[in-house]
């Protein structure tokens, strides 16, 4: 049904096509020469099997070029390309065969060299099939794309593993003196030496487009390499700064390596630098982060090691501050090390807090840990975290659970106070000798006029209070809301020390008090001042009394209300002891007619010489022991019950203990149960042999004072009266008001939390009720 017009149209089309191929040649001459040129060109391009030596292209390049020229002129190049790509597809099995062969080799031996060989082989295929450059970049890139797409599609999954392994080996390769045989293609002419040992590897990879395709894999290889190096060189190495060393390593090892994968095309050093900038700072950042993570994992032990581990802390401080926008110069030129503090890495800071809190909870804050140890570690934590984070935000977050825990420990105050006054054996490890003694510091509000003021770090919580780098003691004392408890405990400790002083030398205590006055303020230590003055006065009085009438008795005369409550199970001393006491008291009264003495007979020590028929025994004993032996000098046999009657207020166990002392010394003997007899003549069988060796002195350091915490419990009973009274007067009160009122009560030093607990207990007992936070008495 071809119409005329259609016929004409077809014929015109055909004529046009014919003319394109035939050109201006006569007849079909043009068509024939085109056909020949097409034949030559497509034959030249045909992807051959490089395993077949006979298929090598030994063509007359002049003819080939002419043929391409003609095809080009006939605008048939695209058809030629299509045919070429189609031929490639048909020949692909050749390449695939090789890929399988090399990959099988890799999978059986696991060596990255097989991958290298595969890559070289693929490059050989690529080069063999590559069209000549004269065909122009379009055809070349279409070819390259098709080739790469193809090989990527046939790589088995194990290829990326192998490739990663190969890239990992380049870190060693780059520093090799010459490339190992596996790193250069077999067909490389011996005259052609690559400029670097890893040069051929990288260039081949680039030829195949592997660098682009596996870009993230390559950088992850570098990340892993960095991590391995950091862990290997820095783990548990805290005594020197590692970050500078790591940066040196980056400069010497990683930067040279980076040139090939990241700055191959650079034509000048500046250009290379520019190309390396982004990736370089990522790697430097990774060095910092890895070191940071490592140190954070180690932080608890680093703190234990402090101050030997100072360098590790410095590293952590620097490394945890993001290098931020610092360019590659940091690494390449080792010039700039100024870090931008304001870009502190918040995530790692919080990781540090979490890790340290966890470690503290697991390793420190448990019943098995000694309070002294906890305090020492807390002090180290304070010092360490100050190095990392001077504003103290990290410390604030880490310290909180420690402080809460310490608050719940019964002997915390005692331990702190002991270290304050340098408790002989435990040493004053908590207090740094070099730290200046300064008044206790309160948490301060920000002083914005301070030129050194800096805003709080962004991870500071709303409850964070700037804790100006105050001294460790202030920080410890601030575990408790009031310093009164410390003063009380101090008083208890001072009492023990002063009452034990026998040689009149309490200079150390005086010096301690002078130091503590600076810390706690003079008013708080007024009581201690009185105690010290009592010591001085006692000595002066004793000198006077001894001048009037020499006596073996040398009392410390104390001012009742200025010493902590002393246990008052006193007793009347027998015989010569009482006489001496009375004699001394008389002399005292003559000297100070307004005053008289009240003996605390159960306190103090007495050095005795006991003269028996066959021996003399010298011993220093407590007053009760002395009194008992005195009784035996009056009558040589006593029953325990008789003694109990004699001493009235003294407990039977104390009397038994005193008797045992003399039995151990061979002075007394238990004749029958609860009946003791004086041994004027030592028994043949020394009773000592059956008694355990008495290494401990008779005079033990018994605490005659109630600890501050015992006193506290007593006081709470008193405070209930106050609370009852104020609720009667004022009806209902919120907790804060009750707390405010109790502050008036002498000696009240509870926190509002403690008060809340107390009130809650009172509520359970049905004494008070609470509604909407208002407390009232139950009627």
Partner 1 sequence: MKVHIKHWHAIAQWRWDIGKNDDDDDGEGDVCGICRVPFEGCCPSCKMPGDDCPLIWGECTHVFHMHCLLQWIGTAASKQQCPMDRRPWVTAERKVDAGNPR
Partner 2 sequence: MSTNCRRRLIRDFKRLSTDPPGGISGSPCPDNIMLWNAVIFGPADTPFEDGTFKLLLTFDESYPNKPPTVKFLSRMFHPNVYANGELCLDILQNRWSPTYDVAAILTSIQSLLHDPNPNSPANAEAAQLYRENMKEYVRRVRATVEESWLDPDEHEAMRQEDEAAAASSSDPSSS
Residues 637-696 that bind partner 1 (CB under 8 A): 678, 680
Q: Does residue 774 bind partner 2 (CB under 8 A)?
A: no
Q: Give the C-alpha separation, 431 to 473, whole Å.
A: 7
Find the shortest distance in angstroms from Cβ 718 to partner 2.
6
Q: Give the C-alpha separation, 401 to 479, whole Å.
A: 11
Residues 570-589 that bind partner 1 (CB under 8 A): 570, 576-577, 580-581, 589
Contact pick of 130, 465, 586, 592 for partner 1 (by CB under 8 A): 592
Q: Does residue 609 bind partner 1 (CB under 8 A)?
A: yes
Q: Does residue 393 bind partner 1 (CB under 8 A)?
A: no
Establish how many alpha carbons lie within 13 A of residue 647's alpha carbon, considering only the half-sphere containing its beta carbon: 28
CA angle 441, 442, 445 (to 5 degrees): 120
Q: Does residue 726 bind partner 2 (CB under 8 A)?
A: yes
Task: Find out whether 195 and 171 touch, Cβ atoms under 8 Å.
Answer: no
Q: Does residue 630 bind partner 1 (CB under 8 A)?
A: yes
Q: Does residue 728 bind partner 2 (CB under 8 A)?
A: yes
721 binds, among partner 1, partner 2, none (CB under 5 to 8 A by kind): partner 2
6 binds, among partner 2, partner 1, none (CB under 5 to 8 A by kind): none
Q: Does residue 776 bind partner 2 (CB under 8 A)?
A: no
Establish how many alpha carbons lie within 13 A of residue 276's alpha carbon, considering only the half-sphere containing its beta carbon: 28
Q: Does residue 773 bind partner 2 (CB under 8 A)?
A: no
Nearer of residues 177 and 729 to partner 2, judged by Cβ: 729
In the chain the first and final C-alpha atoms are separated, in Å, by 119
CA–centroid distance for 750 within its chain = 32
Q: What x-and-dash track marks residues 732-761 binding partner 2 by CB under 8 A?
A: -----x--xx--xxx---------------
- Beta carbons within 8 Å of 235's beta carbon, 6+ residues apart: 294, 298
Task: Find out whether 45 and 80 touch, Cβ atoms under 8 Å.
Answer: yes
Contact pick of 328, 382, 420, 603 for partner 1 (by CB under 8 A): 603
- Dihedral of alpha carbons 553, 557, 563, 564, sign: positive
Selected range binding partner 2 among 138-146, 428-436, 548-556, 722-730, rule: CB under 8 A: 722-730
The tokens describing 48, both together, are 């051959």
Q: Does residue 556 bind partner 1 (CB under 8 A)?
A: yes
Contact pick of 6, 56, 721, 751 for partner 2 (by CB under 8 A): 721
Q: What x-and-dash track marks residues 662-701 binding partner 2 by CB under 8 A?
A: ----------------------------------------
Nearer of residues 560 and 771 to partner 1, judged by Cβ: 560
Q: How many CB atoms lie within 10 A of CB 747?
A: 11
Contact pick of 516, 606, 655, 762 for partner 1 (by CB under 8 A): 606
Query: Over the Cα atoms of the chain, what is R_g?
Result: 47
Buried b (16+ CB within 10 A) or exposed e, 491-510: bbbbbebbbeeeeeebeebb
Strand-pairing partners, residue 617, are 610
Q: Give the C-alpha separation, 365 to 738, whole Å.
A: 33
Q: Exposed, middle or buried: residue 262 (CB in 10 Å: 0-12, 13-18, 19+)?
A: buried
Residues 507-546 that bind partner 1 (CB under 8 A): 526, 529-530, 533, 537
Q: How many CB atoms lie within 10 A of CB 240?
A: 13
Q: Does residue 554 bind partner 1 (CB under 8 A)?
A: yes
Establish how many alpha carbons lie within 13 A of residue 61's alpha carbon, considering only the half-sphere containing its beta carbon: 4
Q: Does residue 50 bind partner 2 (CB under 8 A)?
A: no
Contact pick of 88, 375, 623, 659 for partner 1 (by CB under 8 A): 623
554 binds, among partner 2, partner 1, none (CB under 5 to 8 A by kind): partner 1
Binding site for partner 2 (CB under 8 A): 718, 721-722, 724-726, 728-731, 737, 740-741, 744-746
Contact residues for partner 1, defined by CB under 8 A: 499, 502, 526, 529-530, 533, 537, 552-562, 566, 568, 570, 576-577, 580-581, 589-601, 603-612, 618, 623, 626, 629-630, 632-633, 636, 678, 680
């Amino acid at each position: 049904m071809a119409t005329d017009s259609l016929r004409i149209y077809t014929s015109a089309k055909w004529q046009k096509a014919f003319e394109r191929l035939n050109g201006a040649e006569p007849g079909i001459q043009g068509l024939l020469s085109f056909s020949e040129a097409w034949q030559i060109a497509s034959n030249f391009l045909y992807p051959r099997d490089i395993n077949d030596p006979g298929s090598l292209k030994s063509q007359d390049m002049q003819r080939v070029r002419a043929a391409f020229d003609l095809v080009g002129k006939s605008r048939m190049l695209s058809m030629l390309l299509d045919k070429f790509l189609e031929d490639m597809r048909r020949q692909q099995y050749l390449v695939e065969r090789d890929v399988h062969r090399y990959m099988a080799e890799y999978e059986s031996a696991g060596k990255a060299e097989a991958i290298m060989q595969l890559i070289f082989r693929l490059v050989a295929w690529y080069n063999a099939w590559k069209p000549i450059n004269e065909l122009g970049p379009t055809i070349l890139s279409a070819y390259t794309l098709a080739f790469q797409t193809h090989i990527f599609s046939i790589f088995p999954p194990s290829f990326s593993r192998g490739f990663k392994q190969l890239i990992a080996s380049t870190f060693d390769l780059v520093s090799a003196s010459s490339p190992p045989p596996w790193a250069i293609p077999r067909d490389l002419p011996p005259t052609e030496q690559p400029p670097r040992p890893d040069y051929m590897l990288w260039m081949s990879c680039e030829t195949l487009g592997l660098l682009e395709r596996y870009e993230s894999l390559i950088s992850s290889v570098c990340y892993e390499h960095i991590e391995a190096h950091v862990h290997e060189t820095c783990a548990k190495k805290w005594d020197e700064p590692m970050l500078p060393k790591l940066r040196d390593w980056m400069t010497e090892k990683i930067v040279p390596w980076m040139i090939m994968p990241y700055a191959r095309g650079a034509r000048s050093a500046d250009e290379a630098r520019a190309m390396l900038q982004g990736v370089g700072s990522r790697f430097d950042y990774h060095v910092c982060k890895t070191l940071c993570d490592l140190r954070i994992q180690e932080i608890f032990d680093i703190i234990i090691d402090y101050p030997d581990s100072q360098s590790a802390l410095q590293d952590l401080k620097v490394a945890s501050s993001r290098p931020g926008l610092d360019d590659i110069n940091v690494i390449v030129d080792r010039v700039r090390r100024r870090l931008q503090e304001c870009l502190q890495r918040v995530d790692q800071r919080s990781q540090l807090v979490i890790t340290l809190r966890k470690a503290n909870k697991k390793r420190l804050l448990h019943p098995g840990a000694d309070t002294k140890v906890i305090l020492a570690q807390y002090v180290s934590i304070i010092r360490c975290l100050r190095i990392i984070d001077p504003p103290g935000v990290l410390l604030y977050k880490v310290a909180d659970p420690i402080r809460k825990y310490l608050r719940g420990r019964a002997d915390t105050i005692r331990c702190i106070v002991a270290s304050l006054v340098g408790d002989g054996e435990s040493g004053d490890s908590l207090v740094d000798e070099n730290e200046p003694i300064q008044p206790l510091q309160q948490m301060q509000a920000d002083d914005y006029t301070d030129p050194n003021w800096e805003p709080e770090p962004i991870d500071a919580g709303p409850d964070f209070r700037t804790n100006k780098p105050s001294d460790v003691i202030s920080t410890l004392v601030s575990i408790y809301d009031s310093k009164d408890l410390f003063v009380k405990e101090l008083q208890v400790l001072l009492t023990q020390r002063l009452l034990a002083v026998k040689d009149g030398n309490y200079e150390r205590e005086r010096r301690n008090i002078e130091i503590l006055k600076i810390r706690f303020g003079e008013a708080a230590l007024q009581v201690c001042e009185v105690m010290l003055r009592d010591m001085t006065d006692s000595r002066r009085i004793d000198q006077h009394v001894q001048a009037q009438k020499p006596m073996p008795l040398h009392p410390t005369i104390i001012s009742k209300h200025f010493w902590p409550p002393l246990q008052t199970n006193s007793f009347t001393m027998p015989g010569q002891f009482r006489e001496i006491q009375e004699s001394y008291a008389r002399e005292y009264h003559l000297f100070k007619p307004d005053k008289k003495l009240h003996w605390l007979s159960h306190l103090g020590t007495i050095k005795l010489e006991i003269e028996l028929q066959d021996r003399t025994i010298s011993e220093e004993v407590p007053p009760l022991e002395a009194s008992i032996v005195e009784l035996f000098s009056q009558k040589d046999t006593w029953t325990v019950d008789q003694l109990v009657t004699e001493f009235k207020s003294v407990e039977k166990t104390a009397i038994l203990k005193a008797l045992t002392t003399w039995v151990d010394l061979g002075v007394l003997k238990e004749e029958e149960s609860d009946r003791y007899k004086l041994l004027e003549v030592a028994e043949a069988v020394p009773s000592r042999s059956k008694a355990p060796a008495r290494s401990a002195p008779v005079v033990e350091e018994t605490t005659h004072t109630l600890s501050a915490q015992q006193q506290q419990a007593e006081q709470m009973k008193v405070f209930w009266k106050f609370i009852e009274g104020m609720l009667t007067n004022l009806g209902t009160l919120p907790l804060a008001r009750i707390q405010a009122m109790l502050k008036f009560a002498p000696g009240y030093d509870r926190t509002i939390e403690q008060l809340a607990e107390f009130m809650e207990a009172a509520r359970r007992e049905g004494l008070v009720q609470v509604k909407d936070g208002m407390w009232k008495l139950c009627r």
